[in-house]
A and B are shown apart, each in its own frame.
Chain A
Amino acid sequence: MTRSFQFSSTVRLGIKSLMLHKLRSALTMLGIIFGVCSVIAMLAIGEGASYEAQEAIKRLGSNNILIRSLKPPEQARQQGGNNNRGMNLKYGITYEDGSRLQATIPGVTRVVPMRIIRENVRFNRNEVPCQVIGTLPCYSDVGGAALVRGRFICDLDELHQDNICVITTGLAGRLFPGADPLLHSIKIAAFYYRVVGIVQERSQPEQRAQAGRMEGQPIDNNVYIPLATSRTRFGEVLFRRSAGSFEAEEVQLHQVTVQMRDLTAVESADPQIRTLLNHFHDQNDYEVIVPLQLLRQAEQTKRIFNIVLGSIAAISLLVGGIGIMNIMLATVTERTREIGVRRALGAKRRDITRQFLVETVVLSVGGGLIGVLVGIATPILVSHLTDMKTIITVSSVLLAFGISGAVGIVFGLYPARAAARLDPIDALRHE
């Protein structure tokens, strides 16, 4: 009890001594405040950014491999002829590729092909530009969309090439304000399609930007129709009119989602898929996206990011610590007389060491506490003002606070020892 009482009175004494020079103590603390604040704020912002990126990747499904058709680069196309205008440009993944993947790659559970056509969709006087996605019933199984009402495309639809469609909730709201979509049909190009279901997209519209290259993966304005219907109604050659010219493209499939059995299968299948496709494509008209790898890369990036941020913050804490040490050395010189008096009145060397160490730790921990508060407030403010997601982790707060305490001890030790080493006679005589 006596010991703890003694400690608390030492702390109180330390605070009192620091309060004698309020401005000086406050300025000294400022270094630690900024250091701790920057550790917490930087880590929170970094964590938030990488969380969003990782979520976007995870939404693609870590068991999946995506293969996407790419328009080959201009130069490659021009090797075929001088002028491509009006010519039929043929590229991308074919139906055959899909069946080859299913047949040859071990560990494949599903291959989900997608044809994505941009077209305006109409209901009564409402017209909304959207993506018409021709796909198979198993699309909903690979993590694309969740059913809200009605049903998804089924095998019979595919077999009969029915004119039915499933629309997303966002589109339903825009096309059918005040009406039940399931009772109506929508018009895409020249044909009518009966709405049989409404699905909820997994990705939210505002996350599209973050996903970056993931565009083409469903957004909220989607219409799903059976793949066979898409082939017969739209044909294999797609026309795109632009000012003064038009382009015809023949793309069989825009995207294929290959679902693998497990994560190890994903790893081994990636090079196999590339080899297989490379064999049948003489131009670089597809890309293979492995969300698992992207995830790993994102994690790696995050780790590097954290190290960089951590070192910057550590340097600022170090500078803060040096500031504290400097002030404490000045304080020791200034209070030499007091040290002498205390020694004469019975203080041992370790009492003096403790006194000054406690003062330093009070400075740094006090600064640390304020820094934690400011550091928690900053990311909250940032996400309020800029829409940026921030995540304050408990570990970053503990880390920053712990470092500030350690800085106090490390940088306080030398001045405190210097104070304790003073000869009481010299110290008493000090003017």
Chain B
Amino acid sequence: MPPESAIIQIEGVQKRYVLGGEADVFALRGVNLQVNRGSYLAIMGPSGSGKSTMLNILGCLDRPTAGHYWLGGEDVSRMPDDQLSEARGLKIGFIFQSYNLIAQLTVLENIQVPLLYQGKDLRAYHDHCVELANLVGLGSRLSHRPNQLSGGQQQRVAVARSLVNDPLMILADEPTGNLDSRTGLEVLEMIDRLNAGGKTIVLVTHDERVAARAHRVIHMKDGVIDREIINRPPPR
């Protein structure tokens, strides 16, 4: 069992893909990882290193073939599909490289989407959502459609959306990959502020400068954690 302070506790996680006829492919070969509350972790690694698989398992989009994954003290590694969906909705806030806003919805409605799947009354949370939009500086664009926003603005909507269920952690997959360096910096600063406010952040990136903002960077290689760098001590 993981200690109280660990948001993420991974033990001996393997992921094996069965390919017809040929030998099975191991994407993860036994990974151990602990992420504590309030910490900021960056995951790096070349393509094929198992980084994406790691992200899928951390995000509860996929289940490990072997090993255990406790998310907020709950073992999600063997959960059935519906419970995994619920875990994703409640415990994880996703930020994607390509924003992934829903085109037919307004800014406000996009922020509300995760609430919808928790069966919550949107009217009761209306003020909360407006507050989040204000937090990311889009309070004046609540009824805009994603295609009326710039890339940076869209990503800020995604940040607001990731926060709406007050998740245990924010899982960001290359959040600045599609942005120019200035707007990218704005989004990163926003993530810094969230972390400073106590949110646990897990960020996947190629970019050394992005990773440098984290407390701790792990480098993946051939399905295992190759090395780990502590940039600065996590908050106590």
A interface with B by C-beta (< 8 Å)? 1-3, 5-6, 9, 13, 16-17, 19-20, 337-338, 340-351, 424-425, 428
B residues 73-112 in Cβ contact with A at 8 Å = 81-82, 85-86, 88-90, 94, 96, 100, 102-105
Instruction: Known A16-B105, A348-B117, A351-B117; judge A343-B85 contact (CB<8 A).
Output: yes
- Docked-complex contact A2 and B82, CB < 8 angstroms: no
Instruction: Known A2-B120, A20-B104, A351-B117; judge A345-B81 contact (CB<8 A).
Output: no
Q: Which A residues touch B105, using CB under 8 A? A: 13, 16
B134 on the A face (CB < 8 A): no
Residue with the greatest number of chain B CB neighbours at <10 A, chosen from A6, A343, A346, A425: A346
- Docked-complex contact B85 and A9, CB < 8 angstroms: no
Please report whether the interface of chain A is mostly helix, strand, loop or mixed according to DSSP: helix
Instruction: Known A2-B120, A6-B116, A9-B122; judge A346-B86 contact (CB<8 A).
Output: yes
CB distance from B54 to the nearest CB of A (A): 12
Please name 17 further chain A to chain B contacts, defined as beta carbons within 8 Å, in addition to the given A344-B59, A346-B114, A348-B86, sorted by A numbering.
A2-B120, A5-B121, A13-B105, A16-B105, A341-B96, A342-B102, A345-B88, A345-B94, A345-B113, A346-B85, A346-B86, A348-B82, A349-B81, A349-B85, A425-B56, A425-B61, A428-B96
Instruction: Give CA–CA (A171, B166) in the complex, Å.
Output: 91
17 contacts between A and B (CB under 8 A): A1-B121, A2-B119, A5-B121, A6-B119, A9-B116, A13-B105, A17-B104, A341-B96, A343-B61, A344-B61, A345-B89, A345-B114, A346-B89, A346-B118, A347-B85, A348-B86, A424-B61
Closest residue to A3 on the B side, CB-wise? B119
Q: How many residues of B contact A (CB 8 A)?
A: 30
B192 on the A face (CB < 8 A): no
Residue with the greatest number of chain A CB neighbours at <10 A, chosen from B56, B116, B118: B116
Closest residue to A344 on the B side, CB-wise? B94
Instruction: Give CA–CA (A337, B96) in the complex, Å.
Output: 12
B174 on the A face (CB < 8 A): no
B68 on the A face (CB < 8 A): no
Closest residue to A20 on the B side, CB-wise? B104
Q: Which A residues touch B102, using CB under 8 A? A: 338, 341-342
Residue with the greatest number of chain A CB neighbours at <10 A, chosen from B56, B85, B96, B165: B85
B62 on the A face (CB < 8 A): yes
Q: Which B residues touch A2, using CB under 8 A? A: 119-121
B161 on the A face (CB < 8 A): yes
CB distance from A428 to the nearest CB of B (A): 7
Instruction: Give CA–CA (A348, B89) in the complex, Å.
Output: 10
Instruction: Give CA–CA (A16, B96) in the complex, Å.
Output: 24
Instruction: Give CA–CA (A5, B59) in the complex, Å.
Output: 29
CB distance from A319 to the nearest CB of B (A): 28
Instruction: Give CA–CA (A247, B41) in the complex, Å.
Output: 117
Instruction: Give CA–CA (A425, B116) in the complex, Å.
Output: 21
- Docked-complex contact A346 and B104, CB < 8 angstroms: no
Q: Which A residues touch B56, using CB under 8 A? A: 425
Instruction: Known A341-B100, A345-B89; judge A5-B122 contact (CB<8 A).
Output: yes
Q: Which B residues touch A9, using CB under 8 A? A: 116, 122
Q: Which A residues touch B113, using CB under 8 A? A: 342, 345
Out of A20, A338, A346, A351, which one reaches B88, CB within 8 Å?
A346
Those 9 A-B pairs whose CB atoms lie nearest each other, nearest first: A346-B89, A346-B117, A348-B85, A341-B100, A345-B114, A347-B117, A348-B82, A20-B104, A16-B104
Q: Which B residues touch A338, using CB under 8 A? A: 102-103
Instruction: Give CA–CA (A350, B117) in the complex, Å.
Output: 10
Out of B90, B100, B103, B122, which one reaches A346, CB within 8 Å?
B90
Instruction: Give CA–CA (A338, B88) in the complex, Å.
Output: 16
Instruction: Give CA–CA (A122, B113) in the complex, Å.
Output: 89
Q: Which B residues touch A19, using CB under 8 A? A: 104
Instruction: Give CA–CA (A13, B122) in the complex, Å.
Output: 13
CB distance from A419 to the nearest CB of B (A): 14
Closest residue to B105 on the A side, CB-wise? A16
Q: Which B residues touch A342, using CB under 8 A? A: 102, 113, 117
Instruction: Give CA–CA (A1, B118) in the complex, Å.
Output: 14
Q: Which B residues touch A428, using CB under 8 A? A: 61, 96, 100
Q: Which B residues touch A343, using CB under 8 A? A: 61, 85, 88
